Copies of this chain bind each other. A is one copy, B any other.
Amino acid sequence: MKKFIDDPNSLLDTSLQGFAKAHADILELNLEPHFVYRKQRKSGKVALISGGGSGHEPLHSGFVGFGMLDAACPGQVFTSPTPDQMMAAAEAVDGGAGVLFIVKNYAGDVMNFEMAGEMLALPNASVLVNDDISLPKSHSIGRRGVAGTTIVEKIVGAAAEAGADLASCKALGERVNQATASLGVALTSCTVPALGHPTFALAEDEMEYGVGIHGERGRETVKLAGASEIVAQLAEHIADELQIGTGQHALLHVNGFGATPLIELHSIYELAWQQFNRRGLNIQRSLVGNFTTSLDMAGCSLTLTLLDDEMLAYWDAPVNTAALRWGC
């Protein structure tokens, strides 16, 4: 394993300390239990909290700040955070208008956020994100939450900042999740520091179609194809899933898993734009880069969100976080 670490057990603490120092204008760090939270808080605003295993940065800690999350609870690498983190974070950022959890659909995350919500006696405490269409909705664990989470967090974050109440924030988050579909492809595995070797094996001429963001097997292992062919397949599945039609407005997000260079991600964006444009879609907004990563995995995903006017206005609203920043 070739990584910049001293000890897998100290990596998260050291990293969070560096992250908090590098963004001390925006956020603060609580080390026991682990959470990062917004420096400038606002009373009377719905507090948004997300979290999940580490190794997906900038998701979620990079989205804490004005116009997006109030706090993020990082677990160890690819490991759910625990209820005590969520409860401490909620206590730190609750501004009196309620707390909403934004939770990716993984059993551990769901269970721990639910437990925290119960112990805090929070009503209607969460939005579940399950945008990954690689698994059928009928799958036993349901669909996973992947790169669409960024879109949900940005749009709901803007609504909360604008004064929307808890029920409106929750309903909006669920509407964005419904309007969002993602599908990804891995060219290589990632290596979890505590494990020390790649999570799975792919031959030099293979790729993993429908991969999860922890390197979970997807739909199938297939032969490596050219970029155009890969993108055409991803786009077709997404178009089918969302039943896209001519003239609809959309946000197209190309997400890198970590080790795929921007020169490839921008090329993927162009090819995907052509695919959706050919189907009559009006791509109004874009996001290209490494936002929901899987450590050092090479690969990428496409995420499409069908936008209504409200979502578009909230997407465009000012945001000031480590990883997304505009209008501030």
Contact = CB atoms under 8 A, between A and B. Distances in A.
A2 B270 contact: no
Secondary structure of the A contact surface, majority rule: mixed
A243 to B, nearest CB: 24
A224 B18 contact: no
A107 to B, nearest CB: 23
Given A4-B227, A5-B264, A55-B263, A18 B295 contact: no
A269 B55 CA distance: 16
A305 B17 CA distance: 22
Nearest to A283: B21
A66 to B, nearest CB: 12
A10 to B, nearest CB: 9
A261 B18 contact: no
Contact of A14 (B5, B11, B267, B287): B267
Interface in A233-268: 258-268
Interface of A: 2-7, 11-12, 14-19, 21-23, 54-55, 57-58, 62, 77, 187-188, 204, 207, 224, 226-228, 230, 258-271, 273, 283, 286-288, 290, 293, 295-296, 298, 300, 325-328
20 contacts: A5-B267, A11-B264, A14-B267, A14-B271, A18-B266, A18-B268, A18-B271, A18-B288, A19-B269, A21-B270, A21-B273, A22-B269, A22-B286, A57-B263, A62-B262, A261-B293, A261-B295, A262-B293, A263-B295, A327-B328
